[in-house]
Structure 1
Amino acid sequence: MHGFTLAIFKPHLLKNPVAYSAAEKFIDSCGIRIVTRKQLHLTESQAKQFYQAHEGKFFYKRLISLMTSGPLEVLILSGENVLTRWRELMGPTKVFKAVYSHPDCVRSLFGLSDTRNATHGSDSESSFLTEAALFFPNQKFPPDGDQ
């Protein structure tokens, strides 16, 4: 099934041009298409809105601090089963686990810690729609003519 998902390259990944380029090549090598992208610097308010579901968790403040620490890149990806494929390509959230269970995934190769794990990906179609609306408020998905 053809679909869409949202991906974020976190600030520490953008600060490393070699890792950033390699992560982009992962996407391309899997036949996933980048529909649109933008770099931005999240405000604390935007980061809190995006990660509202994690408020009160032990890592919440660390996550907000990371996501506002520098520019990040938000991408809309498209392809067959793209939500599942991107999540598999990212690998487990916990970098330590990823290193052993998925040594060739993005987080294993470029993640530094569980918070600085290099990437984000929507976990469902409804999450994608909510997240995409935050970053791309004037776009609709699927775009006209792209089913």
Structure 2
Amino acid sequence: MATETTLILFKPDTVEKNLSGKVLERFLAEGLVIRGIKMMTLSDELLAEHYSHVADKPFFPEIVAFMQKTPVIALALEGEEAIGRVRDLLGPTNSKEAPAGTLRGDLGEDMMTNVCHASDSPETADAELKRFFNEGEVFSF
């Protein structure tokens, strides 16, 4: 098993509903370790880069508006097979399809209002961590 660091974004629905502590607690209970954490407002430029795979879709402005509704919490979590474990804890992207016991099944509402974004591969995690954290903001000890 490989030790990985992954990016998680606590989306505006999590921040608005004051669920950040509850969500973080569930990640930590699984043995994942915080390597970086900060609250931030997302710029148009950062969102265009992060969602470049859908930037040409008609629903992209809705994503931007939602992601800028409140600040988000960016989190770097480390652990054995962290990327897959985080995604398993979250459940399917569409909260309506997520089973009870997953974060999205318990706390999410739909495709967008779905608690967190999480990296889906080691390559994506590397790029996303660099996108949301400056050098020196993700720690290893």
- Change beyond 3 A, Cα 1:132–1:42: same
Q: 1:117 aligns with which of 109, 114, 117?
A: 114
Greater percentage in helix: 1
Larger mean Cα displacement after TM superposition, 87-96 or 19-28: 19-28
State yes or no: 1:136 paired with 2:137: no
Alignment gaps of 5+ in structure 2: none
Conserved? CA contact 1:107–1:118, under 8 Å: yes
Conserved? CA contact 1:13–1:20, under 8 Å: yes
Q: Which whole-Å CA distance do the structure 2 matches of 1:87 and 1:67 have between them?
A: 20
2: distance between equivalents of 1:23 and 1:111?
11
Count matched residues: 140
SS of 2:53 mapped into structure 1: helix
How much has 1:140 moved relative to structure 2?
8.5
TM-score under structure 2 length normalisation: 0.91
The one-letter amino acid paired with 1:109 is D
In 2, Cα distance between equivalents of 1:15 and 1:69 = 9
CA contact (8 A) 2:95 2:105 kept: yes
Structure 1 segments unaligned to the other structure (5+ residues): none
Equivalent pairs: percent with the same residue?
25
TM-score by length of 1: 0.88
1:35-54 correspondence to structure 2 within 5 Å? 35-54=35-54
- List structure 1 segments (4+ residues) > 4 angstroms apart after TM superposition: none
Displacement of 1:58 in angstroms is: 4.5
